[in-house]
Amino acid sequence: MTLKNLSPADTQTAIDAGARLIDIRSADEHAREHIPGAINVPLERINDLPHDGGPIIFLCKSGMRTAANAVQLGGAAGGVPAYILEGGIEAWRQAGQPTVIDRSQPLEIMRQVQITAGALVLTGVLLGLLVAPGFFGLSAFVGAGLIFAGLTGWCGMARLLAVMPWNRRA
């Protein structure tokens, strides 16, 4: 099933006519910011999507995740008309449409991984230059971990960050 893209304005019109908005981002992304009324069904659980017969509009952050998984999303829609919010929540926000922002929620796990990995690499480089060359090993260790995560899809740093106390609310 090919999913047609809808602009933010067309999406609002469809929602007003009864379409359901399904946010396929992770729970932590949805908790931090979402479109009012959007139902969070992360991509990895999309086959659990409840069916009530009405049209469905899928969204993600930028539209890339929904476009890349359009075949799977179309199948999960169960034969009802299904669409993609073109440009995702970013385009929705840029069009002046409302979002619910909860800054008390933690940053998304992958942003936390990026911040932590960057800080560790920079620390390793600075310590290696200023203290002892052995500290370059810290940067190498983090780089190897990122390569491993990219190749296998398993990120130990993300797993560790996910159980930190500030992430237990999402």
Tell me how far apart the alpha carbons of residues 40 and 36 are, in angstroms, rounded to a whole number.
Answer: 11
The structure tokens listed for 22 are 């399904």
The residue annotated as part of the active site, out of 6, 21, 22, 60, is: 60
The CB density around residue 4, as the number of other CB atoms within 10 Å, is 12
Tell me how far apart the alpha carbons of residues 89 and 101 are, in angstroms, rounded to a whole number.
Answer: 12
CA 65, 71, 76, 80: dihedral to nearest 10 degrees?
Answer: 110
- SS3 state at 102: coil
Strand 82-85 and strand 39-40: pairing?
unpaired
60 is catalytic: yes
Cite the active site residues: 60
